[in-house]
Amino acid sequence: MIVPEKMSLSDFVSRRLHPVKVTISLMQHELAHNSKGDTTEMSRHLLSSAVSTLELFVEDYEKLIGSTTKASAAASDRKFVEDAKPTLLGG
pLDDT, position 26: 94
Distance CA 77, CA 69 (A): 12
Q: Is residue 26 part of a domain?
A: yes
Q: Is residue 53 part of a domain?
A: yes
Phi-psi region of 89 (alpha: psi -120 to 50; beta: other; left: phi over 0): beta
> How many domains does the structure of the chain reveal?
1
Rg (CA), the chain: 25
pLDDT band at 12 (very low <50, low <70, confident <90, very high): confident
pLDDT, position 66: 83
**pLDDT tens-place string over residues 25-61:** 999 999 999 999 999 999 999 999 999 999 999 998 8
Q: Which domain holds residue 58?
A: 9-66
Q: Is residue 84 part of a domain?
A: no
Kind plus residue range of the DSSP H or E element containing 53: helix 44-77
pLDDT, position 73: 57
